[in-house]
Amino acid sequence: MPRSPFWDTHHRCMVTVKITKQVKLPDPVKLARYEKSPELGPRLLFFSGGTALRELSAALIRYSHNSIHVVTPFDSGGSSAKLRAAFHMPAVGDIRNRLMALADQSLHGNPEIYALFGYRFSKRKGRTALLGELDQMVRGKHRLVAKIPGPLRKIVRHHLLVFREQMPEGFDLRGASLGNIVLAAGYLSNRRHIDPVIFIFSKLVQVRGMVRPVLNKDLHLVAQLETGEWVLGQHLLTGKEVAPIRAKVKRVFLSNDLNDPIEIQASIRNKMKALIAEADLICYPMGSFYSSLIANLLPKGVGEAIARNPCPKIFIPNTAKDPETLRLGLAEQIERLLGYLKKDAPHRISTRSVLDFVLLDTRGGRYPGRFSKRKLRTLGAEVIDCPLVTKQSAPYIDAQRLVPLLLSLA
């Protein structure tokens, strides 16, 4: 049996965990089978957003073309913020990022479309020059558009024309992501539905998996800190565009309007419930704790849908500093995660129905606060301690180590 490059006997996790039977991680038999027929690979579902899963997604497509990525549409910064303000729409930046991470970058996967989606307008050029560049794209004369094969080029030009015609006067193109613009145009031309345009462009770049926003609504993430302060907008919480928060997060919720941050209840569609029900494994992965992970669990119905699926559920805490978990120890992270997972029906949803495993690397990872495996187990989940962080990836998790473990658990 050929050995997969994603595992070796020196770094195997010699832990036996009980799902429906005893297994060892990683499982070389499963890995070989998935690598041979990735189109038949397991349906691993990830609740995430942002770029934390970029390397994992690229590694995963070698073994499965059926992964499901539920991403947050609440981004309020960068290129997405301009589009949201102009068209009152969900954020599409994280959708684009995940589509690109899962795309087939070979000659069979339309690399010209991939290059187009990854392009950003210059931040240094003036408005006239940027409008001229956009108009050149609409006419099909721009080098990125001209390289795209005939039928696909017409689709791209149509979406660029839709955007150009509906673009508000004074819209700032500086630094704008062309992929975001194309997705926004598709959203507008499909009666403000995001699924059709994701489907179309998934086919264009041969996306090896499924990407969906948890909601198709123009909502925002709001955080209340323990000091009583409010953080209005996802981009103000992550510590990437502004200074990190200086107080512990008390709670997060969704709101229609950042100028009047009243908590609202939004429910997931039956389509999302069906996707969750189909998963062979559900993963709460590393990434920004509140803005990427918990934000996906806020809509009503997510927790109940997860609880109904008997598949394994696993939480992978960050192995490096996350500004959003300020003064939040590992045990408390798990407690917070469980709280949001159970919020639909706290007395009916059990811990075991929404969380089975916590995956750690106690040697290579840097986890906040003091904790013991025994303490974590009292919260109701089994701890799996495996080597996840390598010299090359430190302090972050190495996707080459993580992927085979998740595949083995599915």
The token pair at 149 is 């094969």
pLDDT of residue 109: 61
pLDDT of residue 334: 97
Q: How confident is the model at residue 3 (pLDDT cuts 50, 70, 90)?
A: very low
Neighbours of 177 (CB within 10 A): 23
**Residue 310 CB-density burial (10 A; 0-12 exposed, 13-18 middle, 19+ buried):** exposed
Q: How confident is the model at residue 369 (pLDDT cuts 50, 70, 90)?
A: confident
As a residue count, the chain comes to 410
Backbone φ/ψ region at 403: left (φ over 0), alpha (ψ -120 to 50), beta: alpha
* Residue recorded with tokens 């981004």: 75
pLDDT of residue 108: 65
Of the listed ranges 67-71, 109-113, 280-284, the one predicted with least confidence: 109-113
Q: Mean of the pLDDT values across residues 334-361?
A: 96
Of the listed ranges 6-10, 281-285, 327-331, 362-366, the one predicted with least confidence: 6-10
Q: Which numeric CATH code is attached to 9-74+265-409? A: 3.40.50
Cα angle 276, 277, 279 (rounded to 5 degrees) comes to: 70
* Alpha carbons 341 and 193: distance in angstroms, whole number: 27
Q: How confident is the model at residue 10 (pLDDT cuts 50, 70, 90)?
A: very low
The tally of CA atoms less than 13 A away on the side-chain side of residue 221 is 30
Q: Mean of the pLDDT values across residues 13-25?
A: 58
Q: How confident is the model at residue 8 (pLDDT cuts 50, 70, 90)?
A: very low
3-state secondary structure 353-377: HHCCEEEECCCCCCCCCCCCHHHHH
Given a cut of 50, is residue 9 above it in pLDDT?
Answer: no
| CA distances, 371 to each of 14, 350, 355 (Å) | 22, 23, 18
pLDDT of residue 114: 85
pLDDT of residue 192: 95
Q: Mean of the pLDDT values across residues 22-37?
A: 89
Q: How confident is the model at residue 205 (pLDDT cuts 50, 70, 90)?
A: confident
Q: How confident is the model at residue 24 (pLDDT cuts 50, 70, 90)?
A: confident
Model confidence, pTM: 0.93
The token pair at 323 is 């500004």
Delimiting residues of CATH 3.40.50 domain(s) in the chain: 9-74+265-409
Average pLDDT of the residues of the chain: 91
**Residue 266 CB-density burial (10 A; 0-12 exposed, 13-18 middle, 19+ buried):** middle
Of 318 and 239, more confident: 318
- Which ranges of 254-308 does DSSP label H, i.e. alpha helix? 270-278, 295-297, 302-308
The token pair at 101 is 């991470």
Q: Quick one: what percent of the chain has pLDDT higher than 90?
A: 79
Paired strand residues for 384: 359
DSSP sequence for 10-62 = GG-EEEEEESSSEEEES-HHHHHHHHH-GGG---EEEEE-TTTTHHHHHHHTT
What ranges make up the beta strands (E) of 111-219?
Answer: 210-213
Given a cut of 70, is residue 198 above it in pLDDT?
Answer: yes
Q: Mean of the pLDDT values across residues 283-300?
A: 97
pLDDT of residue 13: 64
Q: How confident is the model at residue 163 (pLDDT cuts 50, 70, 90)?
A: very high
pLDDT of residue 372: 86
Q: How confident is the model at residue 1 (pLDDT cuts 50, 70, 90)?
A: very low
Paired strand residues for 186: none
Q: How confident is the model at residue 107 (pLDDT cuts 50, 70, 90)?
A: low
pLDDT of residue 285: 97
Q: How confident is the model at residue 374 (pLDDT cuts 50, 70, 90)?
A: confident
Q: Quick one: what percent of the chain has pLDDT higher than 70?
A: 94
pLDDT in tens, 242-253: 999 999 999 999
pLDDT in tens, 207-228: 999 999 999 999 999 999 999 9
pLDDT of residue 203: 86
pLDDT of residue 88: 95
* Alpha carbons 104 and 249: distance in angstroms, whole number: 39
pLDDT in tens, 123-153: 999 999 999 999 999 999 999 999 998 888 9
* Alpha carbons 308 and 311: distance in angstroms, whole number: 9
pLDDT of residue 306: 98
